[in-house]
Structure 1
């Protein structure tokens, strides 16, 4: 059994397809099939059930999956530790971040990093903060620059980089703007447009309304804050968005219940070696220039 076979096995298991795994690994489908067949022969058991074009893990495959992932993570961790001894900042740095942070917070950091460390290849995945969190947890990403969860999770190490105040907002012509002061109960009489239920930001808003025993009326949900901003600006409902998104298209509402400050920051895995590239990126991210980034125009 070799690490390449385990890598192929992981790719097939995660993608659910031999052809998708081949595309991910830049191999031919017959090469992927051959690797899996060899691995099954070595282990003396089938790892996948093939039903038409669909495949699924057998009981043996399910048992192998976490062990294969751990072996590959341990090898990657060992490679990082040895590579770090040279002091060279190079290789691939895999980062996950949300679209909003990637658009409004990271550009100056990425610009400086790419200029100072041209030998590093940045592999940036623009995904939901919750997906990036899981990616770091399972070793698919080395760093996540994300909205931090409102409640601590000891499985990952977190550090706040930016405070991101949230604001109730709506279009200038929305009926809510006629009231100089509002309660949460008054907001429930109108449609809200909020991030998807699984997001940390949605959880913050729902918890606030739950504590006040107020029932939200949510008409639409999406994970893209820029899309929510657009729908709010044309009068389709009110929302809770970062204060940095206030512009001529939306106005802040004066609500008597304050919103908590959303925390944006970095997550890393406490049990894995950090590459030189990750260390360099974090130094820039944590520096005075990063902490004092101006709000987006």
Structure 2
């Protein structure tokens, strides 16, 4: 049994899928499956029920999950203790950020931290927000700047950077541009262009429709970059759904408020509540950079 197997086990348990777990830990699905089978062989029990589309924990798997998480947490504590002894002379800090998201204050914090602690190796990882939050939970990321739908996870520490509404972005002269506003229900009449599932913006939109039986957004196109989403709307391929600040970067398009969405779209730093000199120092620089 090794820590890698435990990390893969926790990833499958949290995502309910060997495929999504493989994407999270950045190896092939067959690699994850092989390591889980090796772990099951060593423990003498099956950890997952593989009979359905979702990988569900067996009774043995549910019993093992708490201990696997505790083991992974202990490795983080061990690394933190060594970093403390070394006085931040050497070490590594892994920071997650939303794919295609350029947030200048985060880069300023990275630069200031590196100037103060040049011996600490910095590693950046880009992913959708759901993978970033999961990475912080499992310890593969020390901290992440992620998009969230509503309140940050209770089990993580967080600092909300931005809280804003969603808007519909459309070309000037379009029928929607003439209306001035649109409700969630009325939005179903338009083909929409969205960010992918797993991003904070998309999660807010999906949650807004979740409470409306029989209503679903007519998603025509999906793109990972807000600029691409806006660019497609500019060419008349649909109505873009973005946050207010994302829309503000495209003043040639018309930004229409979406009425009926009470869930805020958040951009937040998230990290585990643990003693880590490197992490604490980086959060201090983030506090200064974001103001």
- The two structures have a TM-score, normalised by structure 2, of 0.70
* CA distances 1:243-273 after superposition (whole Å, capped 9, x unpaired): 3333255221255657754221111223x33
How far did 1:129 drift? 1.1
Which residue of structure 2 aligns with residue 134 of structure 1?
134
Of the structure 1 ranges 199-208 and 89-98, higher mean CA displacement relative to structure 2 is found in 199-208
1:137 is paired with a residue whose SS is helix
Aligned partners of 2:177 and 2:231: how far apart in 1? 17
Contact 2:164/2:265 (<8 A) preserved:
yes
* Alignment map for 1:120-199 (pairs within 5 Å): 120-179=120-179, 181-184=180-183, 185-199=185-199
Which residue of structure 1 aligns with residue 15 of structure 2?
none
Mark the runs of 5 or more structure 2 residues left unpaired by the alignment: 13-17, 48-54
Which residue of structure 1 aligns with residue 245 of structure 2?
244
Aligned partners of 2:45 and 2:212: how far apart in 1? 55
* CA distances 1:207-241 after superposition (whole Å, capped 9, x unpaired): 44567889343223536142322222221111221
Q: 1:174 to 1:225 in 2, by over 3 A?
A: farther
Q: 1:248 to 1:280 in 2, by over 3 A?
A: same
Q: 1:159 to 1:230 in 2, by over 3 A?
A: same
Contact 2:168/2:241 (<8 A) preserved:
yes
Contact 1:166/1:260 (<8 A) preserved:
no
Of the structure 1 ranges 261-270 and 78-87, higher mean CA displacement relative to structure 2 is found in 78-87
How far did 1:197 drift? 4.1
Aligned partners of 1:237 and 1:140: how far apart in 2? 37
1:161 is paired with a residue whose SS is strand
Which residue of structure 2 aligns with residue 51 of structure 1?
none
Does residue 263 (structure 1) correspond to residue 261 (structure 2)? The answer is no
1:136 is paired with a residue whose SS is helix
* CA distances 1:56-115 after superposition (whole Å, capped 9, x unpaired): 9x9899576763453243133133134314432531112222124445653222233223
Higher-Rg structure is: 1
Contact 1:193/1:232 (<8 A) preserved:
yes
Contact 2:146/2:200 (<8 A) preserved:
no
Contact 2:148/2:199 (<8 A) preserved:
no
Q: Tell me the matched-pair count.
A: 262
Mark the runs of 5 or more structure 1 residues left unpaired by the alignment: 49-55, 292-297
Aligned partners of 1:11 and 1:204: how far apart in 2? 29
Aligned partners of 2:125 and 2:216: how far apart in 1? 32
Contact 1:192/1:216 (<8 A) preserved:
no
Contact 2:147/2:267 (<8 A) preserved:
yes
Which residue of structure 2 aligns with residue 76 of structure 1?
76
